[in-house]
């Protein structure tokens, strides 16, 4: 049976808090067909650049196009893997080092689909979603981030 997955709001202002993640996990306790969750959390690294040490990343996005890209990734993940549900949250604005900027949460009856879907979704986000990151470094300079 084909399910319709409505576009969901992905962007959040600032970091994704640990409490938000805990609440998202708790919200799935009533979904008893799920046997496996896979969670990916992207955290801001204090990279050392020529310009100085990174203190945070300021994210911006071509929001309308990004929402469409997220929707396409969701549809594709549901088509490829046996998933019960999926949630993606990505920060906009400033996220200081050590804090979470990406939260991918996939749930499935079984672990293999959960592991594989989470990797697929994270890689697709990095490659296909028009999100831009300005790495702020100590002393006020900045460097534009580029996914490899």
Q: With binding defined as CB under 8 A, does residue 15 bind other proteins?
A: no
CB nearer to other proteins: pick between 2 and 64: 64
In whole angstroms, the minimum distance from the beta carbon of 4 to other proteins comes to 22
With beta carbons less than 8 A apart as the criterion, state whether 133 and 66 touch.
no
Contact letters for other proteins, residues 38-77 (x by CB under 8 A): ----x--------------x-xxxx-xx--x---------
**Binding span for other proteins by CB under 8 A among 15-23, 79-87, 109-117, 122-130:** 122-130
89: β partners: 103
In whole angstroms, the minimum distance from the beta carbon of 42 to other proteins comes to 5
Phi, psi torsion values for 129, nearest 5 degrees: -105, 125
Helix, strand, coil abundance in the chain, percent, nearest 5: 30, 35, 30
In whole angstroms, the minimum distance from the beta carbon of 29 to other proteins comes to 28
Q: With binding defined as CB under 8 A, does residue 134 bind other proteins?
A: yes
CB nearer to other proteins: pick between 42 and 84: 42
Q: Which residue has the tokens 């496996």?
A: 36
Q: Is 136 exposed, middle or buried (0-12, 13-18, 19+ CB in 10 A)?
A: buried
3-state secondary structure of 72: helix
3-state secondary structure of 32: coil
Contacting residues toward other proteins, per CB under 8 A = 42, 57, 59-62, 64-65, 68, 90, 101-102, 122, 125-134, 144-147
């Amino acid at each position: 049976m084909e399910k319709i997955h409505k576009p969901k709001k992905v962007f959040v202002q600032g970091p994704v808090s640990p409490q938000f993640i805990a609440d998202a996990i708790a919200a799935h306790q009533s979904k008893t067909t799920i046997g496996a969750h896979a969670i990916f959390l992207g955290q801001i690294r204090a990279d050392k650049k020529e310009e100085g040490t990174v203190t945070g990343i300021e994210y911006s996005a071509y929001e309308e196009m990004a929402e469409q890209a997220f929707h396409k990734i969701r549809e594709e993940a549901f088509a490829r893997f046996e998933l019960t549900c999926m949630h993606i949250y990505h920060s906009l604005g400033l996220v200081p080092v050590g804090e979470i900027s990406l939260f991918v949460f996939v749930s499935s009856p079984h672990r293999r689909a959960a592991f594989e879907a989470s990797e697929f979704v994270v890689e697709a986000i990095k490659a296909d979603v028009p999100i831009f990151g300005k790495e702020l470094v100590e002393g006020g300079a900045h460097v534009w981030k580029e996914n490899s």
